[in-house]
Each structure stands twice: as structure tokens, then as C-alpha cells.
Chains A and B, each alone.
Chain A
Amino acid sequence: MSLQPLLDGGLRPLVQALARRSVSATEVAQAYLDRIAVANPLLNALITVDPAATLREAALADTRLASASTTPGSGSAAAALAGVPIVHKDIFCAEGWRTTCGSRMLDNFIAPYDAGVIERFKAAGATTLARANMDEFAMGSSNEHSWYGPVRNPWDLQRVPGGSSGGSAACVAAGLAPAATGTDTGGSIRQPAAWCGVSGIKPTYGRVSRYGMIAYASSLDQGGAFARSADDLALLLDVMSGHDVRDSTSVAREDAPFSASVGRDVRGLRVGIPREWFGTGLSAGVGAAVKAALAQLQALGCELVDVSLPASSHAIPAYYVIAPAEASSNLSRFDGVRFGHRTADYHDLNELYERSRAEGFGAEVKRRILIGSYVLSHGYYDAYYLQAQKVRRLIANDFALAFESCDLIAGPVTPESAFMLGSNSSDPTSMYLADIYTIPVNLAGLPALSVPAGFDAGLPVGLQLVGPWWQEGRLLQVADAYQRSTDWHLQRPAALKGEGA
């Protein structure tokens, strides 16, 4: 069987081909590595590519696949992704892999342990294909804020892929990997998924272990995944999710497998349309695509209902208080003492701290640390931090009320499609506005996903689906039904055509 169609055909055919041993894990890994060698210099989507390490893992997977195929029935359930190479966002610690978090601070950090997510992928038989570029410490909405340089959007190399999981999204969009992990604190999976034309899911807070996932804003961060379809996301989420006793915010649940949610009818589901998300901020191109997607949901038998999320308009200021506050504290451990960058130029302890951190962190990270310190400091705590937490409650309450009259919420992921590289560099806050529809969801802890829903002047547009707590299955069901009736998710970027990919 020819390998190339298999590389772009989604996870399930690939898993089957590997299990049948019609292709080997080594061949698959090598084929993706070949694509990476050609395309990554253009996209800069990956920070660490270590073909030898990947091929070692693939060889091991082949050995296991060989023994599984000779002992029928063994290992098939446990190894849902046997031999499948996955790109991991460079925020998940993986033992023996350099884990930089997109920062000079961790340029030399070889993780001494696996994140919970990495353990689960290993247990499912997956191999590590490469480590994805990202905004430094996941702070950014454009992937321009990486020590390793910006990632380029596969649909237009002059544009950003979105962030912070921009490398992961770009890899999947460009066919450099069948799937990739990401993290979403304020939209960092859904927004790059939308701008790169791939499917991405941010699970309910507590669904996926945060252990070993380098923290940006602990009460908002959640691990998730990118793939070419909602069906693939269901498979990935079945692997990734589950209770981890090492994470006190991880929740033990006995939900049905997400893979059982796909392929089902969606008739009668009530889809809430938040009227505030279709106001003046929404660009015409994105708005038109999203409205067409909503009409398609209606055509599939969903009932569209009007809902209101009035407090969500305050989500950006609340987020830019809470997230920096938590970040300022989370990033204090990067002090040049036990790991990470240490300045060469210091005479006392204070200089060691101040210069190691000044050299190790980039501009956006510094801004958020400083804002975070400010809003938590004496005299400002109540006016900023406490007030932001109260607004957070209002936002969460809005969603709870909305879900009394609908089963899920649908709307745009972003107000506009991908912007040009460098176009938001003069004012840091202009980039923040790209997350206006995604941030409220993180503040409320809810599950949400983004699926491709057409184009705005040749650039992908995403449809966002948001569910009540723990209702990822319902979101995947609707997204899958949508994708079975549309082909937006099958579109491939033209920019890379002819580049060998």
C-alpha cells in the first residue's frame, strides 16, 4: 500500500494499517520525518527534531506490534495508537527529550520525567515524532513569541498560525504529523486550530492531567489535541484523558469512551447562539463562514436557540489579570539555581536571579510576570485580582444559565482570520483581542473545540462548539456530524503544495 495517502488519511486507517503490519511504525515515522525535513525550514513549526530518537521509539513499537500480531487479542485495546507518531507541544515534559517551553530559559533542559499526558501516549503505543514550537511559556496568540522564532501559517507563510500551540497546529495542517498535542489557557488550541484549518479540542478543566505540563496559568491551563477530524480527536482524547493522582485538579470520572460519541445523529440537539459573539467585533468574512456553519447544523436537525453571555465581554480584562497573576508566581521557580538558564554575569545572589531571569525570558513573558506581580501586590489585590475573580464567577454563571436552554453553544473561534506576521507588534494588547471568544470558556472551565468551517479570503475559519462541564462527547458528536456533511476539514493548504509535502 502506498504510504503517502495513509499519512494524510487520519488516525484510524493509520492505526489499522500499523496493526495489520501493512506498514511499519519505522516506515511511517521515517515518512513523516522526510516531510518535516522539507517543510519545517519553511514553517519553523518544530523546536526539536531528533530522527534517531524517534526511529528508536518506532523500532520498539514495531517489535511490540510484531509480538501483538502473533498473539491475537493481546495489547490491541491497550495500544490504541500503536506505532503512531505524535508531535508534542514543547510544554509537556518527556524524559530524555529537551523540553524548552519555547524559552531560552529552558534551552538546555532535558526533562527527567514524563508528563502524565506523555505517559498515556506511551502506554497507548504512540511514538514521539518531534517537539512543537510554541509561544514562550504558552503566552501568546500568534506564535511570534518563541525564543526559537515565529511559526508560519501553512496557508500563507506571511501570516501567523495563531498561538500559543501554533507549531502543533501548523504541523497537522501541513501534514507533518497525523496528530499533535497542545495546551489551551485562553484559546491556545482552538485559535491556532481555526487559523490553520484543523480540528482542535480543549477538554473540560480537570479532564487531562496537568502533571508535567509546564504551568502558565494553573487554574486555566488544560491539555488537548489537534487532528484532522473530530473522529480523530475522540480517539486522542480517549488516550489522553483520565485521572492522575499527581494533579490535585484532575478529576476521576467514568464517562463512556469519546470514540462512542461519533457517528451519531444530532437531530433535536439545541445549539445556543450567544448574541454577544456576533456583534460589531466579528469580521464579515469570519461571520459569514460561521453563520453558514450554523445553518448546516440546522440542516442536520439541530435547533438553534438564542442565548446571552453578557459578562463574556469582560473576559479579556479578567483573563489579563488572573493569568498573569498565576504566571508571575508559576514562573518564579525559573531562578537559575536548580535548572534552566543561569547568567554568566553575576556577583551576588540578587544579580544571579535578576539577570538569569532577564536573559532567560522574552518580552511577552516579562510583561505578564510584571503585570501579575503588580495586580497581586499590596494595595492592588482587591481592585484587580479579587475583582477579576468575581468577574470570572459572573462569566461562569452566564454559561450555566445559558446551558439551561441549550445543549451546547456554537459561535466563532476568533473575530478575524490569521493576521500578518509582525502586524500586532507595536501594541501588545492588540493581539489579546484575538481571544475574545475563547477566553470566557477557559474562565468557566468548560470543554470546547474548533473545527474548520470554511474560508475568509483564502484563510481558514473555525467554528467553535462549547459544552457544559464534561460534555466533550456531545461536542465531538456534533463536530463529527458536521464533518460528515462538509469537507472543510479535508482542505489542504496550497502554500506547501509542490514543496514535497
Chain B
Amino acid sequence: MSLSENEVRRVARLSRLAVTAAELPQLQQDLSRILDLAAQLQAIDTTGVTPLAHPSGAGAPLRNDHVTEVDRRQAFQAVAPQTERGLYLVPKVIE
């Protein structure tokens, strides 16, 4: 299960991870090895088996519709890289 350089670039783009050309060959080799491991799954007969996404099998608890949170903007923005007038700043967003 070998991964092409283009596939590595595609998932890097999906994952928003910058990958340099120098890193690419090693990454391609490492990811291919992990996928080789993962590909062993395909030999297993799982006909009729229900996927297990949540280990407990219980339903989600529900909370009542009450406001419980107070304004903690100052504390939360103390760890932010860049804010102004209460807003998080990012490079211009294009719609």
C-alpha cells in the first residue's frame, strides 16, 4: 500500500500541514509503512458486523436549556496570539 507523493500532498493540504519538498520522501515512506499495517484490516471478514463507534452503547445525555456560562473573554483571550477590540484577528478571509 504505497502512497504517492501527490497523495501525501493532498492529505497534507486537507490537514493544513506545510510539508517541504525535502520532507516529502521520508514522509511518503513512513506513511506508506503505517498504511501497510492498516491495510491488514482488509483481509478480515467483517460481513454483517455492525461498526462500533462508541464503546459504551449508551445514548447521549441531554442538558437542560439554561444559560450557565458567564463572559470570560478576557481570560480566554489572554492565551490568544492576536486580538483587537475583543475579536480574534486573522489574515483577511475571502468568501
Contacts and interface: CB of A to CB of B under 8 A. Distances in A.
A375 B72 CA distance: 38
A115 to B, nearest CB: 16
B62 to A, nearest CB: 9
A36 to B, nearest CB: 26
B18 A377 contact: no
Interface residues of B, number: 52
A338 B80 contact: yes
Given A112-B72, A112-B78, A352-B91, A335 B40 contact: no
Nearest to A445: B55
Interface in A106-139: 108-110, 112
Contacts of A152: none
B70 interface: no
A75 interface: no
A420 to B, nearest CB: 21
B53 A394 contact: no
Interface in A440-465: 443-445
A347 interface: yes
Interface residues of A, number: 71
Nearest to A336: B81
Interface string A303-322: 00000000100101110110
A219 B12 CA distance: 24
A320 B55 contact: no
Contact of B52 (A338, A375, A392): A392
A387 B18 contact: no
Interface in B15-59: 15-19, 27, 30-31, 33-42, 44, 46, 49-56, 58
Contacts of B60: 248
Given A320-B38, A377-B11, A249 B54 contact: yes
B52 to A, nearest CB: 4
A261 interface: no
A387 B46 contact: yes
B40 A369 contact: no
Contact of B49 (A316, A342, A393): A393
Contacts of A348: 91-92
Interface string A348-377: 111111110110010000110111111101
A250 B16 CA distance: 32
Contacts of B27: 366-367, 370
A384 B34 contact: no
A317 B76 CA distance: 39
Given A112-B75, A245-B61, A367 B52 contact: no
B22 to A, nearest CB: 13
A403 interface: no
B31 to A, nearest CB: 6
Contacts of B85: none
Contacts of B10: 377
A219 B53 contact: yes
Contacts of A9: none
Given A349-B90, A374-B31, A428-B30, A337 B81 contact: yes
Interface in A410-452: 427-429, 432, 443-445
Nearest to A220: B55
A321 B37 CA distance: 9
Interface string B74-95: 0110111110000010111100
Nearest to B60: A248
Nearest to A371: B34
A227 interface: no
A370 B90 contact: no
B33 A429 contact: yes
Contacts of B80: 337-339
Nearest to A428: B30
A349 B91 contact: yes
Contacts of A205: 55-56
B14 A393 contact: no
Given A367-B27, A392-B52, A358 B18 contact: yes
Contact of A388 (B18, B41, B88): B41
A396 B76 CA distance: 40
A317 B38 contact: yes
Contacts of B16: 332, 335, 350, 353-354, 357
Contacts of A188: none
A366 B16 CA distance: 10
A282 interface: no
Given A112-B75, A314-B44, A374 B35 contact: yes
Nearest to B46: A390
A429 B34 contact: yes
Nearest to B19: A358
Given A336-B81, A357-B18, A390 B50 contact: yes
B70 to A, nearest CB: 12
Nearest to B20: A358
30 contacts: A110-B78, A112-B78, A205-B56, A206-B56, A219-B53, A219-B54, A248-B60, A320-B38, A337-B90, A338-B76, A349-B91, A351-B18, A352-B90, A357-B16, A357-B17, A358-B17, A370-B11, A370-B31, A371-B35, A374-B3, A374-B7, A387-B44, A390-B52, A391-B49, A392-B52, A393-B49, A393-B52, A396-B52, A432-B37, A445-B55
Interface of A: 108-110, 112, 205-206, 219-220, 245, 248-249, 251, 311, 314, 316-318, 320-321, 324, 328, 332, 335-340, 342, 346-355, 357-358, 361, 366-367, 369-375, 377, 383-384, 386-394, 396, 427-429, 432, 443-445
